[in-house]
Structure 1
Amino acid sequence: MKKRLFKTFFNELNKTPPYNEKSNELEIQLKEQDISTHYEQSLTTFKSIFSYPQNTDIKVREFTIRSLNRRAFIIFISTMVDHKSIQDSIVEKLIENQVPSGNIADIISYPMERTAANIGEITDYICGGVTALFIDGDSQCYIFETTKVRGRGIEKTDNEIIVKGAKESFNERVADNIGLLRKKIKNENLIVESKVISKRSRNDVFLVYEKDLVNDKLLQKIKERLDSIDSDKILDLSILEQHLEERPRSLFPTILYTERPDRAASYIEEGHIILLMSNSPSCLIMPATFWSLIHSPEDHYLRTPYGNFIRILRFAALFVAVFTSSLYIAITNYHVGMIPPDLLMAIAGTRERVPLPSIIEILMMEMAFELIREAGLRVPSPIGPTIGIVGALILGQAAVQANIISPIVIIVIALSGLSSFIISDISMNFAIRLARFLFIFAAGFLGIYGATAFFMASLFYLVSLKSFGIPYFAPMTPHSISSKDLIVRHVPFKERFRPGYLKPKDLVRQRKG
């Protein structure tokens, strides 16, 4: 009986026509048309599209061009434009001009961006902060770049902090971000290409690359991936990143996210492609490999011995962060014979009154460390560090005195947690933190054998990852020509080649001296 009821229900459900959300069809058809040469019709059309005067920041200014004896109007969004430029360079010039000239460019001193005739195209321009001028009798309107969006200035980066090197970071104004890149790359081959993504928000994404370096197939692949996005809104690069990744559920990132224009410029000059977006104080670098996610921009600002020391320390910290907790569990639970007798007695003495197994101890303290880390980030800045330090001291001290946690576990967790902070990339940092828990469970299940097996499986998985067709461990495997800037970097004049796995048009960075 129940099966029959369920069958009837699903049959009725399948008969129901699917619900499709549709926008106003009349407005869609209207946007596909060209503007009218009749003044009143154009004015009525755009007032209707922008819901004027209900939409309070939409401004329409009507006037007469005396020299032409023709009526005209401008329309703009007041919260996104420079009012003084509109008044001084556009409106006053048109009203006060006495020389009869049919060419608008001869009358207006403001740089004319372009002309447009399609209603939908003009609407998109106005939504982007430009001013549109309509003149009675003209079959096209005149577009002026009057955008002036308010935002913060160029400041220091908060996440990728370095001691030696440039301190500038991207901000939310894409014009500023492009200017920062052009300031560093003074080359006529630097291309800034825009594409519109998302259906309703109509967000602009800017591809930045050097046309005499970039691989055309790689560029085309990224453009196709952008064109395939089917979404109503993508408001930030962080969301766009998840749409572009080949494996969005992967633990490890395959796109490099950075707030530093100097880092972005260095990758552009190697043949990479970066994406910029309005309202995003960062950029996406594509493709990205494991090595680029581990490296820090400061490595190249320091002298070679110092940079290599920091880089080797970072790789060592990577292994410490991943394996310290799991090795402690494996050795104390399964491989006690590996511990020297004196150290074994010391560990046994500290654990004498602790009632919990070592894996529970580790998991409790790992979770406590993560809670303190996140709490320190979310609370207001002046008290964040205080909460982190006080919370860690009080929690650790109380846990040891209550005989819930052994002192050596506090040392293990502190060493593991501090080592994870040395990974500067946010996404890779999260991947290391999550991988640490997986290794803890593997070691708790089968000891060192479990941790080793999981490590081998992780390597196989990482080797299978690709970023826009580029293997994750390139140029180490598969091997290709490069500057060999992997674990240890050479002195600058020895780095002769660009990354071969990108197949750039110019592989040689500098000739032999």
Structure 2
Amino acid sequence: MEISFFKKRKAYKRQINNEMPDEGANPEKGTFFSGDLQNDIPHINQLYSYPENIDFVLREFTIQTIGKKAALFYIPSLTDEQLIDGGIIKPLITKDKDILDVPSSISVTAVREEKEVEKAIKDLNTGDTLLMVEGQTHAYIIKTAKVAGRSVEKPQNETTLLGPKESFNEKAEVNISLIRKRIRNEDFIVEKMTIGGRSNNEVFIIYNKELASEKVLGEVKGRIRSIKKDAVQNLSLLIQHIEDRKISLVPTILQTERPDRAASFIEDGHVIVIMNNSPFALVTPATFWSFYHTADDHYLRFIYGNVTRFLRIIAMFITLFTPSIYIAITNYHMEMLPTDLLLAIAGAREMVPFPAILELLLLELAFELIREAGLRVPTPIGPTIGIVGALILGQAAVEANVVSPIVVIIVALTGLSSFAISDVHFNYMVRTVRFGFLLAAGLFGIFGMIGCFMVCLIYLTTLKSFGVPYLAPLTPNYKSSGDTIFRKILTNERLRPEFTKTKDLSKDTIRTK
């Protein structure tokens, strides 16, 4: 039976430590290179099952001017092989070139020394090249990573009319550069953490050291460090490990695919988290208003931006309350309707065999099924699903007296209004809570709706995101620019939100060093 990768690594670590009793190094700190290629090469090959593993390359050659043998290791699927040939091997094997040391001889800028095999293996797994020279008890880690992936494209979910048309992709280095070009400051910090006992996934924490709160930053690092999993491949999985309440309907960590929006959060004192394989960034902490706002709010002029916010808040209330108000009034509070409208509703429902609550629930579930099917089917037939579901099935249901026309209108208005909520997780929350209001109205009428709304409001006041109250700065009251339901004129937004515990509250302060 084959030995696993980790068993091989541990066996190699024990053997090297036994062969290197002192030399000033502490064997407990890791496995060290011995400087003997005949000893080091077989063990590296054993770790990667070479030559059976075709996605691993060993190249041995002699550095002519110093007469020493060298060994080069790399993973071809993660590296730039042309750079390795032209920038590393060719300069070292050239006879007419004086070589003083390896870093000054090769034409790759990022080179560093590493004595521990464990750390060198981690770098090798990320696409770097490992170079060992005979007689040297350290190896050279050379930056040659080149991973295939998408180029920078337009945002798919957070579209904007006047803002930049760039979005994150699956490469962390590209995502960091997209943020970095918007914040040209020496206080811009990127820290790297490694999670996953087997996969060694890299997590990048981005913040401004003069603005971010030490408490929030420590909380983010602590939660990431506490993850005990073999693999966490992307941010969609990471977020489920570090969020405050894992079974709550309410999202407490914002996800954004826009670099400009991530940069604006950093400038307000927030902490951003990025990973490879994830085309978005996490924003911590996040409040209710972060999910309600969009990128276009500040790119549009003051009045236009506030009008769109007003329409968005109206759409959210329509989505939440329109079906439940219909059920409450038609079942319990018919005296609230004008007589003509009441007779029209009764006439439309005369041939419908189902109660109003069941009729509305069936149509709401059908609409959600159509929406989910439209998301999962291939793109070319997506519009066809919408046309068939919304027009043909709706019209056929009315003609068959399964549902009444007014219920079709209510469900269509509710569904269209939900599309005004741009954030995906916030949208899911609103759509799910809508069924709770619908059941409460069916059981207790308007009183049930009010009770359900009060329970939701009380629950929101108890939530926190990395120690920050969810409804801040509205409640509890913090100093800020007042950017909640409506925003102020841009020149009057002079304060960063105090709830992030930022070190510099004023945006007008120009600090010189």
2:173 corresponds to: 175
Letter in 2 for 1:30: Y
Q: How many residues matched?
A: 491
**TM-score using structure 1 length:** 0.94
1:102 shift after superposition: 4.1
1:37 shift after superposition: 1.1
Query: Does structure 2 conserve the Cα–Cα contact (< 8 Å) formed by 1:165 and 1:301?
Result: yes
1:462 shift after superposition: 0.8
1:30 corresponds to: 12
Q: Hey, what's the Cα distance between the residues in 1 that align with 2:6 and 2:406?
A: 67
Superposition misfits of 4+ residues, deviation over 6 angstroms: none
Letter in 2 for 1:27: R
1:28 shift after superposition: 2.5
Q: Tell me, which stretches of 5 or more residues in structure 2 are unaligned?
A: 14-29
How has the CA–CA distance of structure 1 residues 490 and 97 changed in structure 2, closer, same or farther, with 3 Å as cutoff?
farther
How big is each residue's C-alpha offset from its partner over 1:367-397, in whole Å with a ceiling of 9 and x where there is no partner? 0100111111111112101210222111111
2:353 corresponds to: 355
2:483 corresponds to: 485
1:342 shift after superposition: 1.2
Alignment of 1:292-311 (within 5 A): 292-311=290-309
Matched, 1:391 2:373: no
How big is each residue's C-alpha offset from its partner over 1:223-260, in whole Å with a ceiling of 9 and x where there is no partner? 11111011111111011011010101000100000111
Query: Does structure 1 conserve the Cα–Cα contact (< 8 Å) formed by 2:8 and 2:47?
Result: no
Query: Does structure 2 conserve the Cα–Cα contact (< 8 Å) formed by 1:470 and 1:501?
Result: yes
Query: Does structure 2 conserve the Cα–Cα contact (< 8 Å) formed by 1:276 and 1:282?
Result: yes
Query: Does structure 1 conserve the Cα–Cα contact (< 8 Å) formed by 2:48 and 2:56?
Result: yes
1:42 shift after superposition: 0.9
How big is each residue's C-alpha offset from its partner over 1:482-509, in whole Å with a ceiling of 9 and x where there is no partner? 0100011011100000000011111001
Q: 382, 390, 398: which one pairs with 1:400?
A: 398
Alignment of 1:64-213 (within 5 A): 64-213=62-211
SS, match of residue 226 in structure 1: helix
SS, match of residue 184 in structure 1: coil
Query: Does structure 1 conserve the Cα–Cα contact (< 8 Å) formed by 2:297 and 2:309?
Result: yes
1:109 shift after superposition: 2.2
Query: Does structure 2 conserve the Cα–Cα contact (< 8 Å) formed by 1:30 and 1:119?
Result: no
Query: Does structure 1 conserve the Cα–Cα contact (< 8 Å) formed by 2:478 and 2:498?
Result: yes
Q: Tell me, which stretches of 5 or more residues in structure 1 are unaligned?
A: 1-21
1:112 shift after superposition: 3.5
Query: Does structure 2 conserve the Cα–Cα contact (< 8 Å) formed by 1:85 and 1:146?
Result: yes
In angstroms, what is the RMSD of aligned CA positions?
1.3
2:220 corresponds to: 222
1:161 shift after superposition: 1.4
1:25 shift after superposition: 4.1
Q: Hey, what's the Cα distance between the residues in 2 that align with 1:235 and 1:318?
A: 33
Query: Does structure 2 conserve the Cα–Cα contact (< 8 Å) formed by 1:191 and 1:209?
Result: yes
How big is each residue's C-alpha offset from its partner over 1:452-483, in whole Å with a ceiling of 9 and x where there is no partner? 10110011111111000000000000000001
Letter in 1 for 2:189: I
1:190 shift after superposition: 0.4
Query: Does structure 1 conserve the Cα–Cα contact (< 8 Å) formed by 2:63 and 2:69?
Result: yes
Q: Hey, what's the Cα distance between the residues in 1 that align with 2:186 and 2:159?
A: 31
Q: Hey, what's the Cα distance between the residues in 2 that align with 1:69 and 1:25?
A: 35
SS, match of residue 181 in structure 2: helix
Letter in 2 for 1:376: G
1:425 shift after superposition: 0.5
Letter in 2 for 1:492: L
1:98 shift after superposition: 3.8
Q: Hey, what's the Cα distance between the residues in 2 that align with 1:340 and 1:36?
A: 91
How big is each residue's C-alpha offset from its partner over 1:281-333, in whole Å with a ceiling of 9 and x where there is no partner? 11100000000011111101000100000001100111100000011111111
Letter in 1 for 2:247: R
1:15 corresponds to: none
1:321 corresponds to: 319
1:57 shift after superposition: 1.2
- Stretch deviating more after TM superposition (217-226 or 104-113): 104-113
Q: 473, 476, 488: which one pairs with 1:475?
A: 473
* Identity of matched residues, %: 49
Q: 409, 412, 421: which one pairs with 1:411?
A: 409
How has the CA–CA distance of structure 1 residues 448 and 23 changed in structure 2, closer, same or farther, with 3 Å as cutoff?
farther
Letter in 1 for 2:342: L
Q: Hey, what's the Cα distance between the residues in 2 that align with 1:24 and 1:511?
A: 53
Q: Hey, what's the Cα distance between the residues in 1 that align with 2:95 and 2:392?
A: 76
Matched, 1:506 2:488: no
Q: 447, 450, 459: which one pairs with 2:448?
A: 450
Letter in 2 for 1:399: A
Q: Hey, what's the Cα distance between the residues in 2 that align with 1:446 and 1:303?
A: 44
1:117 shift after superposition: 1.1
How big is each residue's C-alpha offset from its partner over 1:136-190, in whole Å with a ceiling of 9 and x where there is no partner? 0000000111001011100011111122211100001111111101111111110
1:12 corresponds to: none
Q: Hey, what's the Cα distance between the residues in 1 that align with 2:343 and 2:91?
A: 90
How big is each residue's C-alpha offset from its partner over 1:380-429, in whole Å with a ceiling of 9 and x where there is no partner? 11210121022211111111111110100001101111111111000000
Q: Hey, what's the Cα distance between the residues in 2 that align with 1:304 and 1:332?
A: 41
Q: 215, 231, 234: which one pairs with 2:232?
A: 234
1:62 corresponds to: 60
Alignment of 1:432-443 (within 5 A): 432-443=430-441
2:270 corresponds to: 272
1:101 shift after superposition: 4.0
1:29 shift after superposition: 5.2
Query: Does structure 2 conserve the Cα–Cα contact (< 8 Å) formed by 1:321 and 1:420?
Result: yes
**TM-score using structure 2 length:** 0.94
Query: Does structure 2 conserve the Cα–Cα contact (< 8 Å) formed by 1:112 and 1:142?
Result: no
Q: Hey, what's the Cα distance between the residues in 2 that align with 1:237 and 1:503?
A: 25
How has the CA–CA distance of structure 1 residues 309 and 97 changed in structure 2, closer, same or farther, with 3 Å as cutoff?
farther
1:54 shift after superposition: 0.9
Letter in 1 for 2:32: D
Q: Hey, what's the Cα distance between the residues in 1 that align with 2:461 and 2:408?
A: 34
Query: Does structure 1 conserve the Cα–Cα contact (< 8 Å) formed by 2:5 and 2:48?
Result: no
